[in-house]
Amino acid sequence: MKIGAREIITPRPKMSLTIPKGMAAVEFFNSPANLKNLAEENGLFRTPEDLLMYRKLIGHSSEFDTSIILDTSRRILDPLGRPVRRDQMQRKEKKVWNRMTQIVFEYMMETYPDPVEHLIVCGEASLDATWPLSKPGVPSIRMIHNHFIVFPMQQLQAADLADPNDANLTDSGHHSLFLRHLNDIYHEFLDVLDLQILSPISTNESALKLTGYPQGLPSWHVKGGVEKLGDQYFWYEYEQVLRGFLDFYRTFFSLVSTGESKMPAYSNFSSQINEVLLDNNRFQRVARNLREQVIQDPLFANDIRWRPAYKQLLYRDDQGRLIVTISQNSVGNAITELLGVVVKRVEDADAYAAIEPALVTRLLAVRERLLVANLGEVIAAPNWPKNH
């Protein structure tokens, strides 16, 4: 069987929402009106900290697909003032966020115990937090979210190979700037992290055999497996990975933006920034070249995310190990593409109706675990299938 990214087709229902005349779809779907709809029509669970779990109506998988977002839209009206990364969350929010992630991930592992049969992935990201301001439809939601997905491996094996030049697989043409041009420096910089539970693992070893993805991303093996998700020190290390990424991102794009070599205002590993990045001639040269491209190419410049944007994944590999990896979040690419899965959503009400009862049953089962853990309250959404 040929190794390569796969493109699967996932049915979705007809949307019940009406987009106001004169408003672009991207504007509406990133508006407070759509967020309100998420809770009222497809909400599953809400905590006192405003962590909202909901059904993904236009989702990635027909097997298991749900998201949790930190819904601060009702108490922080300024979109630019809302937390979009875990390092910006309050201590209590973060603690409950980690606990919910642990419970949902454990449910997926128990329900789908065989890595040969199912691909399990949990993807944490800033939700369009840094969409270029010159793009149409600047999002107003701006919230951190976590996406939980299960794909049957049989479906992926039967799927057609995806176009290797698909914008979603190539970071909208960027091919992940860090990895394409700064692979060795990026990995060396993250080596500074003093991790006990997360152990560095080569990409060749952690990549899925079927797709060959992720490609070139720094990765870590979770020593101790799923049980470590209940260890607060695991989440400390998980955040250290993000903090290292943020330092690299800020240093690089500050250099691209200003042309000046300087320490970012908010840095976590200042000595490493000086020794590995600012004193590195290749790092300086790549930044200068990118700076010139931004000046000369308006289309390319319009896709740059100047503020840190990331996707941090926790997934199960072919051997059943839990792997952590992190990537920059370019415009257009989604969580699943980091693992070589391109999802084409097709409106097909009948096909969705056929899979909806089983999908919702699984979502309600994992919601029951959150309720038992006394983390919040269920949401009585009216749009579930009959008798749910």
pLDDT tens-digit series, residues 126-156 = 765 455 555 555 555 678 889 999 999 999 9
Least confident of 37-51, 73-87, 97-111: 73-87
Residue 157 within a domain: yes
Q: Which two tokens stand for residue 22?
A: 């004169």
Q: Which of 54-58, 90-94, 180-184 has maximum average pLDDT?
A: 90-94
Residue 265 within a domain: no
Residues, the chain, total? 388
76 by Cβ neighbours in 10 Å (0-12 / 13-18 / 19+) ranks as middle
Residue 210 within a domain: yes
- Give the structural domain span for 92: 6-181+195-226+309-378
Dist. CA 360–CA 328, nearest whole Å = 32
pLDDT digits (tens, 9 = 90+) for 276-325: 999 999 999 999 999 999 999 988 887 777 888 888 999 999 999 999 99
Residue 249 within a domain: no
Residue 139 within a domain: yes
Please say whether the beta carbons of 353 and 12 come within 8 A. no
Domain count, the chain: 1
Helical residues (DSSP H) of 166-209, grouped into ranges: 177-190, 203-206
The per-residue pLDDT of the chain, averaged, comes to 87
pLDDT for residue 15: 75
Q: Taking residues 101-123, report their average pLDDT.
A: 97
Residue 44 within a domain: yes
Residue 279 within a domain: no
Element (H, E) at 347: strand 341-347
CA-closest candidate to residue 321, choices 225, 227, 235: 225
What's this model's pTM, rounded to 2 decimal places?
0.92
